[in-house]
Amino acid sequence: MQKLIVEGGRRLRGELVLQGSKNSSLPILAASLLCREECVIRNCPALTDVYAAARILNCVGCRCTFSENTAVISPQTVTGTAIPEALMREMRSSIIFMGAMLGRMGECGVSVPGGCELGPRPIDMHLAALRKMGVDITEPGGSIVCRSRGGRAKGAKLTLAFPSVGATENIILCAAAAEGETVINNAAREPEICDLCGFLRACGADIAGDGGSSIVIRGRDKLHGCEYTVMPDRIAGATYLSMTAAAGGEMILDNACPAEMEPFLNVLEQTGCSIYTSGDRIYLRSGSRLRAVRDRIRTMPHPGFPTDAQAVLMAALATAEGTSVFEENIFDCRYRHTDALVKMGADIQILGKVAIVRGVPGLHGAPVEATDLRGGAAMVCAALAAEGISEISRICYIDRGYEKIEEAVRKLGGRISRV
Ligand code: EPU
């Protein structure tokens, strides 16, 4: 098993081109199943989760090749309607293939992705919405078998109990090829939803209202192919900015998406970092010591503070002057990284969904284990700020979301190696 070795305590300085978004690429790759012609998807990050999505596409009969951040998919030959359990387990978000396969084939067989690092991640909202769209769903022994009545799902008026990103994506995918109009009320407003809709519109889909709480999708008989460029990864962007804030220094992030990152940037700015944006560039300079964030940092659906950036900001605030308080409102179990930060000298107390972070003057290197994707990235942030050497193991989690993280950190002048 590979490890990252980080020698911390050095200020960072450099310029970095931000990778494409993982959480856009995955639903867009699934969406290509709906098309009858070749799709060329650019700015796709080279990540284990993206490779898993490509394997699923190949398994159901598409031809999907991936090179130099471009995925080329020929979905004309889709025949399969089932995704084997082993492939489903490789990646939690394999569940979004459900809506796409229903849209294309009118049926699908998948399995519930297994236990998770972030707590239970039910798919009840996905299933309830698809049932309302005329899909019969049975769940024999851990698998999920879906069949649209009459071979094609029907448009429906749906209201989500919570603006779930995955449920919104699954509904959009199914509705884009369904009969009639689907309205999703209380839809997720995340930028990645708009990116998925942007791709589908480029393929001829009729979708309006994405980015707002009500999305209207009028189903089309056939979608054509397109060339599309995936948006930048706002969470990877938040991570590299947090690293520079934590270690001190200055950096430029190129090919970023400042508007979509605003909920994060607004909070980061309160730590005393100077942040300027121009076009798709973000410039950050961090002073000698960060300040704690005065208001409670509550993770919320977009445009609230993103749950995916909670861990990396916490790592930066571990050495800030004063006490910061986080409230995690999206996932039940998203503080598992805090034990590692405490091992590195942080003072963090967890009280249910609240984390109290009392800033300490400095951290020290330690051997730690990544607990999940963003938690692992938070350990890299803390290690860069810490005096001495840290050894981060179980980095397979980190590799699910960060393209060659060690090369990116080295571009910022960080001392890091993969062994
Ligand atoms: N939920 C339900 N029932 C459902 C669906 C969701 O109870 O049917 C609950 C979940 O258990 C969770 C909350 O609703 O507590 C939010 O879940 P959501 O469906 O919005 O999240 P997701 O689609 O599973 C995506 C991202 C996550 C990100 C969340 C929230 C992808 C592939 N994943 O997950 O990204 O944290 O939205 O923004 O897009 C990551 O990149 O590290 C990551 C975990």
pLDDT score at 119: 73
pLDDT score at 87: 86
DSSP 228: E
Q: Judge if 199 and 348 occupy the same domain.
A: no
Burial class of 285 by CB neighbour count within 10 A (0 to 12, 13 to 18, 19+): middle
Q: Judge if 184 and 197 occupy the same domain.
A: yes
Q: How far is the CA of 121 from the centre of ligand 1 (A)?
A: 7
pLDDT tens sequence across 98-150: 999 999 999 999 987 655 577 777 899 999 999 999 999 999 888 899 999 99
pLDDT tens digits for the chain (419 residues)? 899 999 999 999 999 999 999 999 999 999 999 999 999 999 999 999 999 999 999 999 999 999 999 999 999 989 888 998 888 888 878 899 999 999 999 999 998 765 557 777 789 999 999 999 999 999 988 889 999 999 999 999 999 999 999 999 999 999 999 999 999 999 999 999 999 999 999 999 999 999 999 999 999 999 999 999 999 999 999 999 999 999 999 999 999 999 999 999 999 999 999 999 999 999 999 988 999 999 999 999 999 999 999 999 999 999 999 999 999 999 998 999 999 999 999 999 999 999 999 999 999 999 999 999 999 999 999 999 999 999 999 999 999 999 999 999 999 999 999 99
Catalytic residue among 59, 62, 116, 333: 116
Domain limit, last residue, from 214, 229, 244:
229
pLDDT score at 130: 98
Domain residues for the domain of 207 are 26-229
Instruction: Report the number of distinct structural domains present in the chain.
Output: 2
Cα separation, 30 vs 93, in Å, equals 10
Which amino acid, 205?
A
Q: Judge if 84 and 149 occupy the same domain.
A: yes
116 is catalytic: yes
Q: Judge if 208 and 246 occupy the same domain.
A: no
Domain limit, last residue, from 204, 229, 254:
229
**Block residue for tokens 């709906």:** 34
Q: Judge if 206 and 94 occupy the same domain.
A: yes
Q: Judge if 310 and 224 occupy the same domain.
A: no
Q: Whose CA is nearest to atom 6 of ligand 1?
A: 164
pLDDT score at 116: 56
Which amino acid, 7?
E
Nearest residue to 122 via CA among 329, 331, 311, 299: 331
Q: Judge if 97 and 44 occupy the same domain.
A: yes
Does the beta carbon of 397 sit less than 6 angstroms from any atom of ligand 1?
Answer: no
Domain limit, last residue, from 229, 249, 273:
229
Q: Whose CA is nearest to atom 21 of ligand 1?
A: 165
Q: Judge if 99 and 134 occupy the same domain.
A: yes
Cα separation, 50 vs 109, in Å, equals 21
Q: Judge if 224 and 243 occupy the same domain.
A: no
Q: Judge if 148 and 274 occupy the same domain.
A: no
Rounded to the nearest 10 degrees, the angle between the axes of helix 373-385 and helix 234-247 is: 20
Q: How far is the CA of 164 from the centre of ligand 1 (A)?
A: 6
For residue 179, give the CATH number of its domain: 3.65.10.10
Q: Whose CA is nearest to atom 29 of ligand 1?
A: 165
Q: Judge if 139 and 120 occupy the same domain.
A: yes
Q: Judge if 286 and 385 occupy the same domain.
A: yes
Given a contact cutoff of 8 angstroms between Cβ atoms, the answer to whether 233 and 21 are in contact is: yes
Length of the chain: 419
Q: What angle do CA 295, 296, 298 make, to 5 degrees?
A: 130
Cα separation, 280 vs 285, in Å, equals 17
